[in-house]
A and B are shown apart, each in its own frame.
Chain A
Amino acid sequence: GESVGLHLPTLSVQEGDNSIINCAYSNSASDYFIWYKQESGKGPQFIIDIRSNMDKRQGQRVTVLLNKTVKHLSLQIAATQPGDSAVYFCADLIPGTGNQFYFGTGTSLTVIP
């Protein structure tokens, strides 16, 4: 079965520093990956996605890196702000599963002012 997990369940960073959140996946057939941010009491919100034909994608203050060789995904947040405090989930899509995503446990990011 698919396993999507995170290396660190919690992460604390100083405001203004960069944050790196990691994720590992087990199925080499996964071809689409999403990072979601979930603030307390809210549903997950899309941050950024990447397809398997890319190894890097940048958004506003966020960058996702994909290393297919070791099946590893990371989310980098530049100049972390208090509003970035949330739980971050990675999810991967496996072809042929009817658009079913597998979500990791999540990493709780706390930004220290």
Chain B
Amino acid sequence: GAGVSQSPSNKVTEKGKDVELRCDPISGHTALYWYRQSLGQGLEFLIYFQGNSAPDKSGLPSDRFSAERTGGSVSTLTIQRTQQEDSAVYLCASSLETLQFFGPGTRLTVL
């Protein structure tokens, strides 16, 4: 595709359930990022994948959050035992060099 895509666009779940959010980066982009954006807030860095290197997980807020990137392309962000404070928009971005291109985000609502 021409840009970064994310699915689902919206996800409503119940507290305690696990969710998986998907990101399809721009083809050929070696770097992939996950951010969280709470209402009225800036972007909070979560995790960064670069090629075959070990991911930078320094932004993950707790061990309930994990992400993987299969085959250097598609990435999945998993949140286990969701809490209400996990409600936010989760943005994915990819880059070839420095400039990051963002997807439309997944709006997660935890009831």
* Residue total for A at the interface (Cβ-Cβ under 8 A): 23
- What total count of A-B pairs have CB within 8 Å? 48
Q: How many angstroms from the CA of A77 to the CA of B100 in the assembled complex?
A: 22
Q: How many angstroms from the CA of A17 to the CA of B43 in the assembled complex?
A: 29
Those of B55-90 within 8 Å (CB) of chain A:
56
Q: Which residues of B contact A32 (CB under 8 A)?
A: 98
Known: A89-B43, A99-B31. A43 touches B104 (CB 8 A): yes
Contact of B56 with A100 in the complex, beta carbons under 8 Å: yes
Closest to B97 in A: A99
Q: How many angstroms from the CA of A41 to the CA of B10 in the assembled complex?
A: 11
Q: How many angstroms from the CA of A91 to the CA of B98 in the assembled complex?
A: 12
Contact of A99 with B42 in the complex, beta carbons under 8 Å: no
Contact of A44 with B56 in the complex, beta carbons under 8 Å: no
Closest-CB distance, A75 to chain B (whole angstroms): 15
Contact of B101 with A46 in the complex, beta carbons under 8 Å: yes
Closest to B100 in A: A101
Contact of A103 with B42 in the complex, beta carbons under 8 Å: yes
Q: How many angstroms from the CA of A98 to the CA of B55 in the assembled complex?
A: 10
